[in-house]
Chain A
């Protein structure tokens, strides 16, 4: 605790987050310079902003009177497509992430396998889903198949990375105990590793389901199926009442998914 002697007695000073004072000054100083540079490179067309404000208010206002009805068929089809994409991509992604995750765990996989699996994970995690979707659309054509493959690819990277970390953190004593019974590699996996990582894996799967649904609403913008296409059209046409309706449906589904995942995770513990 830093204490300072003054004429009036000993004063206590709050501890700093970064202990080294020189480093602190350098960081604050460079942050200020960066912010000044960054802010000066934002050129704002205020006339355009003023013009757009009306539209912004119209958009906010449309949340009070969302229009679910005039384009209900398109909204319903889009949401359904998003949900189907999410379901298949999550299931297939999780199944495929298991071998990749096991291979990417440094404590049980041999180095070449480890390296290969880590590369797959890095490739799928570096690029945003939308960029991957652009490529899958170019390869597989427009529609839900490209979207499903995009989400699946992203799911593999996400789940495999966390699974690998979980396996690396698993208690080696239990593995040792199972191995001492004469178990082979796959028996060690099922009786030692699997029970240790399963609860967290299920929790993460539910979380990924949630993420995939949210992402499925976006990749439609580049033609990969789902509600995104409908959303994009409605914004382009300035039909904010429909936009608001779609966003409300998305938010409701995400809230429901979050509520359900909370229940599932509570029951697991």
Chain B
């Protein structure tokens, strides 16, 4: 730890001056980038429209209250669809993700040089593209409806589940594999008695976590036509039925909070 002497007293400083300079330079570059970015956003903004935002917010809230509770009767089916999109999408995503995760983990992949990069590419591509973009594409391919939503959620989940799962596979304890191998087990037996029990808790946790996220994501897929409650949101917004919008938002809120509560409960049960 560098100490400096000043006016007869000794001060303690966390870093020496050369390191400090490098850090300040990094900050300078970062701040310049942010400043230039902000300037370009600000130049492209019509401040006349932005200036009356508080007024707009007030108007919006006024139109949203009181919520049109009767509209709730039309929301049960879309909510059920939303739940199905999230759940079936998660299941489908897991089915795709498990083999990819085993191909991506450096200790189970058949070839580190050829298969692993390919599996990694699948995982990154899936995570880079938001489910709403997948949904946009799928609506033009399989048509509007919840099938497009399910596939979109599944395609998006592959990357997330696959990445966390392959990291869990790479962390398994090899002593256990050796123990199972030492009993004379075949490779399939080593797999099911040595590998699977070790990754099962992580797998359950990851799947549950993704399901929770997917509930949230599936609420908006309808916005581009992929079924669920987002469909009602977009149609209510387009006719400016704000009192319906507030009911939809409330039901989304309740659904998300409920799914979070359920997944927390189950997770506690598993661990």
Contact = CB atoms under 8 A, between A and B. Distances in A.
A85 interface: yes
Contact of B142 (A43, A49, A84, A218): A49
Given A128-B216, A232-B136, A250 B141 contact: no
A44 B145 CA distance: 8
A3 interface: no
B133 A42 contact: no
Nearest to B45: A145
A231 interface: yes
Contacts of B209: none
Nearest to A57: B141
Nearest to B203: A17
Interface stretch (A99-107, A131-139, A169-177): A131-139
B136 A235 contact: yes
Contacts of B142: 44, 48-49, 52, 56
Report, nearest first, the 7 A-B pairs whose CB atoms are least far apart: A141-B49, A84-B37, A48-B143, A254-B128, A56-B141, A87-B37, A38-B84
Given A143-B45, A235-B140, 5 more contacts: A17-B200, A88-B37, A130-B220, A131-B252, A221-B223
A48 to B, nearest CB: 4
B3 interface: no
A217 B130 contact: yes
Contacts of B249: 127, 131
A241 interface: no
Interface string A1-42: 000000000000011011000000000000000110011011
Contact of A140 (B53, B129, B130, B141): B53
Nearest to A47: B143
B44 A143 contact: yes
Contacts of A34: 87
A166 interface: no
28 contacts: A38-B84, A44-B142, A53-B141, A55-B140, A56-B141, A59-B141, A81-B40, A81-B41, A84-B36, A84-B38, A88-B38, A130-B223, A131-B252, A134-B237, A138-B60, A144-B44, A145-B41, A145-B50, A214-B128, A214-B130, A221-B132, A225-B44, A231-B133, A235-B137, A235-B140, A238-B140, A251-B129, A255-B124
Interface string B77-103: 000110110011001000000000000
B10 interface: no
Given A135-B60, A251-B125, A17 B204 contact: yes
B87 A38 contact: yes
A51 B200 CA distance: 40
B147 A221 contact: no
A63 to B, nearest CB: 10
A53 B140 CA distance: 10
A98 B54 CA distance: 25
A48 B132 CA distance: 21
Contacts of B53: 139-140
Nearest to B83: A38
Interface of A: 14-15, 17-18, 34-35, 38-39, 41-45, 48-49, 51-53, 55-56, 59, 80-81, 83-85, 87-88, 91, 126-128, 130-131, 134-135, 138-141, 143-145, 148, 214-215, 217-218, 221-222, 225, 228, 231-232, 235, 238, 243, 247, 250-251, 254-255, 258
B132 A218 contact: yes
B40 A84 contact: yes
Given A38-B84, A258-B124, A52 B143 contact: yes
A186 B141 CA distance: 57
B266 to A, nearest CB: 9
B6 to A, nearest CB: 19
B56 interface: yes
B197 interface: yes
A138 B80 CA distance: 29
Contacts of B197: 14-15
A41 B38 contact: no
Contacts of B50: 140-141, 145
B136 A38 contact: no
B158 interface: no
B199 to A, nearest CB: 11
B227 to A, nearest CB: 9
B130 A144 contact: no
Contacts of A81: 40-41, 44
B37 A83 contact: yes
Contacts of B257: 126
Nearest to B34: A91
Contacts of A217: 129-130, 133
A225 B130 CA distance: 16
